[in-house]
Amino acid sequence: MPDALPRPEPFISRTTPAALEDLRARLRATRWPDTPQDAGWSLGTDLAYLRELVAYWADGFDWGAQEAALSRLPRFRVPVGGLGIHFVHARATAPAGPVLPLVLSHGWPDSFWRYQKVVPLLTDPGAHGADPADAFDVVVPDMPGYGYSDRPTGPPLDSVAVAGLWAELMRILGYPRFGAAGGDIGGHVSRYLSLDHPDRVVAVHRTDAGVPVLTGDPADLEPEERAWIERVTAWGRDEGAYAAMHRTKPQTPAFGLNDSPAGLAAWIVEKLRAWSDCEGDIERRFTKDEILTNLTIYWLTSTIGSSMRMYHANAAIPPAQHARRVEVPSGFSLFPGDILRPPRAWLERTTNLVRVTEPAGGGHFAPFEVPELYAEELRAFFRPYRTAMTG
């Protein structure tokens, strides 16, 4: 007789008053650095903006209200691969046809937070002006070391290993076949899900192709591919210092970022601004409450160090893994404000490309920045694969 599957248990996060008071005390005691006059964001996080944000975090932000809002999502935890995994599991409401299960994988620097706005749009499209036949069962896990999932106590897990956990999670939830979608590190996880479990993943959607790893002869590339790789190299030189630190010595910044909420905010807020379609005004895409909800999850769960260590693990993935071509039907939505947007030739080279679009707005955090656009992208891409899950 096969072993019984573990049973997911409902989960609600509850923060103690002492934890919040400690956070506020640390924020009020921030020792601020100096900054050159008129530096703005040119050298990193803007001092004036961060002072304003930290003051609000200390004395205006209502974490209790945000925590209660997050708890209105159907959240659970279940042991998978020896780790407690936290996830949202929202079932389709009033579907008008076959329901496609969909696992959404986040990236850094966030958690299930990235997808909170799209969950109702995907589970109940009819209530949001879309076709009820496009309803999904939605699963949004926190990767190990992020959010409310356990932090690995041994070596950090790479995207290949996390993909294996997600395949097992979907088995536990009773989904033999499903769609996968993600961006950033979550795009890598979705890729490996489709590579290692092609009999279960009916189609895969991504918002980027990650940093290119070339294993063949550069002379075989199309001109637009070579130009793109040159742009990626330049971006890494000018903007990639954070990733170099994460890949090589993630434990060093973890000491400061896990001890100082202002430091944590500086590390993350600069990326929210730089990678979003905000035209330099971060609050064009994220309210202070939204930014601070993301930051407070990181602070209360002490996951900034464990989240960064995943870069170190991914840097050790063998080149042969990067050389594998995705044969599962693949789609890409390349949002205009995102970083490292790949050319079609690269997508055709590395995947069984069936659809690529360029939506009108949004950036690296598209599910949060432009949830309606992102939800419509997923509905349109997965529409032809709804009946395939039963095959």
Catalytic residue flag (residue 89):
no
Phi, psi of 206 (to 5 degrees): -135, 155
Could you give the angle at which helices 288-301 and 17-28 cross, rounded to 10 degrees?
A: 110
Catalytic residue among 150, 197, 364, 374: 364
Tokens read off for 206: 């991504």
Catalytic residue among 311, 312, 338, 374: 311
Catalytic residue flag (residue 311):
yes
141, 75 contact by CB (below 8 A): no
Catalytic residue among 46, 124, 142, 184: 184
Catalytic residue flag (residue 184):
yes
- What lies within 8 Å, CB to CB, of 287 at 6+ separation is none
Rg (CA), the chain: 20
What are the residue numbers of the active site?
184, 311, 364
